[in-house]
Amino acid sequence: MAHAQEHTSHTKLIWKVFGILSVVTIVEVILGIEKPDSLHLSRVFGTSPLNIIFLVLTLVKAYYITWFFMHMADEKKNLRRAVVWTGVFLISYLATLLLIEGNYIGDVLGPLTKWNY
Amino acid sequence: MEATIATETNGQTWSGGNNKPLGASYGKMMMWFFILSDALTFSAFLAAYGLTRFKFIESWPIADEVFTHFPFLHGVHAPMYYVAFMTFILIFSSVTMVLAVDAGRQMKQKKVTFYMLLTIIGGLIFLGSQAWEWKNFIGGSYGAVQLNDGKIIQFVDASGHQIELEKFAIASHSERTQHTKDKGLWFVKEAALPPFSVNEVIEGFKANPDITIRTEKINAETKTKTIIPREEAMAYLNEAKVVVKGANLKVNEYGKTLFADFFFFITGFHGFHVFTGVLINIIIFFNVIIGTYQKRGHYEMVEKVGLYWHFVDLVWVFVFTFFYLV
């Protein structure tokens, strides 16, 4: 079992990542419950600052899960790029187009919807 | 960093030579292929949800008003807490999974067994939680009325909070009984009848002067649903078609039908992934116990199932954001 001794334990790193993920989730939940008006009701880049914060925190969590839990950090650079860039590119492409389209349909449909009786 | 990559696989996993493309074993590479394609599937669902939400941006249900239940706290308005609990369960089972992988790399069979067991338990708790979440969503909390054109009208008390139909609707003797196979045509089925008829709800509304209604339309300034003054409410209620309690694929008391459809489909698809993840974990767990991987000399199989399990957690992070937070 000489082979096994090459592998040092990463327990410390794992618990650290768990701590980061927990803190981020707790921040998200607190913001989601409180919804401070200054963040919730103002507008930045076509949505509220709160939504942008949620999105960024989600990506932070995704990064930590992929890099440290899925051990992406230990893979060869080319494998990492093949997976991450493909995903990031295709998903942001799809999301951008569909959200623009949805926004357009909403703009057209909105005024046609009757709310008074 | 080389040391932490999957242990050697005897050079026989890829046919045609000893080269391992991108330094990954066959199994791990295929798992990454699968994860990438599955990620695209999920993102397609979530993007479709996004399109629909933008389409109905001014009348989409507000998540805080939909998911408000917490175990043992009946009638307490507790948004977010329960789903935060579910998120923690899944993150924690991810941690135990990665600890199992870590122990596997050091060939510690006992530790791998223990952490795999914790992971399976975490997965089962998550599945149970999701079932409970569905139960509450399907059962509904307040009840509403659907108008002829499909819009949902909810009832609020003087303070603007939603009020349950049971609190004001006047139960009257109804001629209408649930149709069952033994009472009529044996080949005709009928969905469960709502607890009240439209007339009972309207009578109750008339009898309680301090309640009024609200529409699905969101006030852009305050991001809350528009409350209609009581004087104008009857014009809406005259259009009432059916009483709605809870949610199904055709109608739901929270608002847009598509909201429930996407909720069932996306969380259901994710739950199915968790379910298969638990099954695979159990298989690997027993393999660990009987010492398959100890004999094989490496625990790469635990790493591969770990990749899948973390991916399920990753998807949940996004579902959590887009269904509950944003």
Give per-residue burial for B50-70: e unless 16+ CB within 10 Å, then b: bbbbbbbbbbbbebebbbbbb
Interface test with A, best of B32, B49, B51, B223 (most A CBs within 10 A): B51
In 3-state terms, what secondary structure has residue A100? helix
Interface pTM, i.e. ipTM: 0.91
Name the DSSP class of A28.
H
Q: Which of residues 57-116 of B touch A (CB under 8 A)?
A: 57-59, 64, 79-81, 84, 87-88, 91-92, 94-95, 97-99, 101-102, 105-107
Measured in angstroms, the CA of B294 and the nearest CA of chain A are apart by 11
pLDDT for res B174: 65
Q: Which among B58, B101, B106 is the nearest to A110, CB-wise? A: B58
Say yes or no for a CB contact (<8 Å) between B50 and A95.
Answer: yes
Q: Which residues of B touch A71 (CB under 8 A)?
A: 4-5, 101, 303
Per-residue pLDDT at A7: 65
Q: Write out residues in chain B with pLDDT < 70, as ranges.
A: 1-18, 75, 173-175
Cβ–Cβ below 8 Å for B3 and A76: no
Eight-class DSSP state of A40: H
Residue A114: predicted pLDDT: 86
The residue among B303, B23, B308, B42 whose CA lies nearest residue A80 is B23
Q: Which residues of chain A have pLDDT under 70?
A: 1-7
Residues 225-264 of B with CB under 8 A from A: 226, 232, 235-236, 238-239
* pTM given for the model: 0.88
| Domains within chain B, CATH numbers bracketed | 28-140+259-325 (1.20.120.80), 144-245 (no CATH)
Residue B48 with chain A: CB contacts under 8 Å: 98
| Chain mean pLDDT for chain A | 89
Residue of A nearest to B23 (CA): A76
Angle CA B45–B49–B55, to nearest 5: 145
Q: For position B145, what pLDDT does the model report?
A: 93
pLDDT given at position B70: 87
Q: Secondary structure of chain B: what % helix, strand, coil (to 5)?
A: 55, 10, 35
Q: Where are the domains of chain A?
A: 1-74, 75-117
Locate tokens 């625990």: which residue? B299
The pLDDT value recorded for residue B10 is: 52
